[in-house]
Copies of this chain bind each other. A is one copy, B any other.
Amino acid sequence: MTYFEDLRVGTRTEVGSHTFTADEIKAFAREFDPQPFHLDEEAAARSHFGALCASGWHTASMWMRLRILYGQREDAERTARGEPNAALGPSPGFREMRWLKPVYAGDTISYASEVIEARASQKRPGWGLIQVHNSGTNQNGELVISFKSSAFVERRPDA
């Protein structure tokens, strides 16, 4: 992770993108969201969605995957350059999860995270608290998911 001091309000990270296949939409739905429009093309065609689409929890969980993998790549690159990595604290949760448009089978969603607030933590010396706006946009440029999260990020030891 980048140290708190290197994050600014407005810092935007493209965390990665993913194409949702029909098979993985159905596999997630069988396990976690067994509703007809997430499980079966024909049933979905008859629903208000009009076609097979991913569970909102699937779209959200995919953000988590890509965010973690992005951070791991970034950390590996810093390590390769001989630079230290800041620690990221546990997430207390998130706010305002919005599923704005369906994610249909074959859609490619690009996820981004933007720092919208950053302040030194009063309660936890050595840590900063950031507020992040996370979003997913489909191949047509339409916002499909948005939510806000908070995270504790380690400050530079010399800060």
Contacts and interface: CB of A to CB of B under 8 A. Distances in A.
A93 interface: yes
Interface stretch (A62-70, A76-84, A118-126): A62-70
Interface stretch (A8-16, A29-37, A131-139): A29-37
Copies of this chain in its oligomeric complex: 2
A35 B49 CA distance: 34
Interface residues of A, number: 29
Contacts of A90: 48-49
A97 interface: yes
Given A34-B68, A55-B64, A64-B55, A96 B99 contact: no
29 contacts: A31-B61, A31-B65, A32-B61, A32-B64, A32-B65, A33-B64, A33-B65, A33-B68, A34-B68, A34-B69, A34-B72, A35-B68, A48-B90, A49-B90, A55-B61, A56-B91, A57-B60, A57-B61, A91-B99, A92-B98, A92-B99, A93-B97, A93-B98, A93-B99, A93-B147, A94-B97, A95-B96, A95-B97, A97-B97
